[in-house]
């Protein structure tokens, strides 16, 4: 049975999920696999994968065991099958101590003996035989020492000083340093740092760029790649046959693969053509009818009616005939005429006004006259 903490009260949702999973049939059998992970920067350990038949190689990739094989396997006990029946994720255990592993497996071996006489004892004997073959004691003395930090050159020392004390300089001092650097050494990293400091004076404190050595080195690298790529493209455009030999003079480590990568130009997506929006009533209706004709499931009668409406609207639009609108109010029908280019939204607003309770033709006529005679574009 699944272990539930004593005194724990399930919520309604937890109770429903528990009952749903509890109603599912249990597995008839399962397998437990044991993997050994040698020492890396972490101590050596043994991984115990429950329901190993459900695990795939890709699931063991985070542990670095996607290409490994188990050194030992055993069948799951009925108690383990019942307990892990309620797992909603793959389950595994890891041990860095043989004593703890054997202590845990002794209890499972007892259950195995009850289910299959001698199976648990045989498994425990085989497990203990690996104790001398698989040591779990971390030997940190054999790890390679950390490499010594290389002595920084003059540019790096100056750059770090600039990052530490650059915010204390004013704009005039930064400008003078930038001019001096451009006239003398022209070190890329220093130039980028000085330019970034100079740009910060024109920004608010919240939007200023923070100077870090890593970001500056990254910008230098991108700058060098961009300069090399532009140089390669210029040389290749002038002399395709001997371009590589000419490039090797300036970049001795240059290869053919790098040449192909530098010459490759990413294709830009085709720019979408801009169209003026369709706002007049007749063309909006024509667009809707065309969409209905193309994608709608129409019978013969509806198809003919749609085609007739398209023909009538197209003819009226070509002749620039006014748009008639029939309004029935208080058992009286009146036709209101609108210009041929009237916007669809304006007509909809007029219809909404006509549908208001208590509306009369007198009010509509005043509103219509205001729309038609006004210089404002309706």
* C-alpha dist (Å) from residue 263 to 125, 219, 235, 259, 269: 65, 21, 11, 6, 19
**How many domains does the structure of the chain reveal?**
4
Q: Is the pLDDT of residue 376 over 70?
A: no
Name the residue with higher pLDDT: 167 or 74: 74
Q: Give yes or no for a contact between 306 and 292, defined as CB atoms under 8 angstroms apart.
A: yes
The reply to whether 221 and 251 lie within a common domain is: yes
The reply to whether 167 and 126 lie within a common domain is: no
The reply to whether 362 and 378 lie within a common domain is: yes
Per-residue confidence (pLDDT) for residue 374, from 0 to 100? 66
SS3 assignment, position 351: helix
Domain end residue (candidates: 94, 111, 140): 140
The reply to whether 233 and 287 lie within a common domain is: no
Q: Is the pLDDT of residue 85 over 60?
A: yes
Number of residues assigned to the chain:
378
Q: Is the pLDDT of residue 175 over 80?
A: yes
Decide if 39 is inside a domain: yes
The reply to whether 127 and 26 lie within a common domain is: yes
Decide if 148 is inside a domain: no
The reply to whether 307 and 288 lie within a common domain is: yes
Per-residue confidence (pLDDT) for residue 62, from 0 to 100? 87
Q: Is the pLDDT of residue 3 over 70?
A: no
Per-residue confidence (pLDDT) for residue 32, from 0 to 100? 92
What pTM was computed for the model?
0.38
Mean pLDDT value across residues 185-193: 86
The reply to whether 315 and 330 lie within a common domain is: no
Domain end residue (candidates: 99, 114, 140): 140
pLDDT digit string (tens) for 304-358? 999 999 999 999 999 999 999 999 988 889 899 988 888 888 889 889 989 998 8
The reply to whether 20 and 132 lie within a common domain is: yes
pLDDT digit string (tens) for 38-79? 888 888 899 999 988 888 888 888 888 888 888 899 999 988
pLDDT digit string (tens) for 191-232? 888 888 888 877 777 778 788 888 888 988 999 899 999 999
Decide if 1 is inside a domain: no
Q: Which residues contact 304 (CB under 8 A, 6 or more apart)?
A: none
Please, which residues bridge with residue 211 across strands?
A: none
The reply to whether 341 and 299 lie within a common domain is: no
The reply to whether 104 and 126 lie within a common domain is: yes
Decide if 31 is inside a domain: yes
Q: Is the pLDDT of residue 260 over 80?
A: yes
Please give the mean pLDDT across all residues of the chain: 85
Decide if 5 is inside a domain: no
Segments forming the whole domain that contains residue 360? 324-378
Decide if 146 is inside a domain: no
Decide if 149 is inside a domain: no
The reply to whether 135 and 17 lie within a common domain is: yes
Q: Is the pLDDT of residue 268 over 80?
A: no
Name the residue with higher pLDDT: 335 or 170: 335
Decide if 231 is inside a domain: yes
* pLDDT range class, residue 14, cuts 50, 70, 90: confident
Domain end residue (candidates: 140, 163, 180): 140
Q: Taking the CB of residue 194, how many other CB atoms lie within 10 A of it?
A: 23
The helix, strand and coil proportions of the chain, stated in percent and rounded to the nearest 5, come to 55, 10, 35
Q: Which long-range contacts (CB under 8 A, 24 or more apart) does 214-217 make?
A: 216/159, 216/163, 216/189, 216/192, 217/189
Per-residue confidence (pLDDT) for residue 377, from 0 to 100? 56
The reply to whether 313 and 340 lie within a common domain is: no
């Amino acid at each position: 049975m699944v272990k539930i903490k004593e005194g724990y009260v399930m919520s309604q949702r937890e109770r429903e999920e528990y009952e749903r999973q509890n109603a599912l049939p249990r597995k008839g059998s399962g397998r437990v696999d044991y993997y050994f992970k040698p020492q890396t920067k972490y101590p050596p350990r043994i991984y115990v994968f429950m329901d190993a038949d459900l695990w795939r190689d890709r699931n063991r990739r985070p542990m670095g065991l996607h290409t490994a094989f188990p050194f030992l396997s055993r069948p799951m006990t009925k108690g383990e099958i019942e307990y892990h029946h309620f797992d909603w994720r793959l389950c595994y255990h890891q041990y860095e101590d043989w004593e703890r592993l054997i202590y845990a497996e002794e209890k499972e071996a007892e259950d195995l003996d009850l289910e299959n006489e001698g199976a648990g004892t045989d498994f425990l004997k085989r497990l203990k035989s690996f104790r001398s073959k698989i040591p779990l004691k971390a030997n940190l003395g054999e790890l390679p020492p950390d490499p010594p930090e290389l002595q920084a050159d003059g540019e790096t020392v100056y750059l770090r000083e600039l990052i530490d004390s650059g915010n204390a300089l004013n704009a005039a001092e930064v400008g003078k340093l930038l001019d001096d650097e451009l006239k003398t050494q022209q070190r890329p990293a220093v130039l980028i740092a000085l330019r970034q400091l100079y740009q910060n004076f024109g920004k608010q404190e919240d939007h200023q760029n923070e100077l870090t050595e890593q970001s500056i080195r990254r910008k230098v690298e991108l700058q060098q790649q961009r300069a090399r790529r532009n140089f390669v493209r210029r040389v290749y455009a002038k002399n395709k046959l001997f371009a590589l030999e000419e490039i090797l003079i300036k970049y001795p480590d240059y290869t053919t693969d790098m040449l192909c990568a530098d010459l490759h130009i990413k294709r830009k997506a085709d720019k979408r053509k801009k169209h003026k929006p369709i706002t007049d009533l007749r063309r909006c209706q024509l667009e809707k009818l065309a969409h209905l004709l193309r994608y709608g499931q129409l019978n013969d009668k509806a198809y003919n009616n749609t085609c007739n409406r398209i023909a009538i609207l197209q003819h009226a639009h070509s002749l620039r005939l006014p748009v008639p609108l029939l309004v029935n109010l208080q058992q009286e029908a009146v036709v209101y005429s609108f210009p041929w280019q009237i916007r669809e939204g304006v007509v909809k607003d007029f219809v909404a006004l006509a549908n208001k309770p208590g509306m009369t033709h007198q009010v509509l006529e005043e509103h219509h006259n205001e729309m038609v005679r006004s210089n404002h574009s309706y």
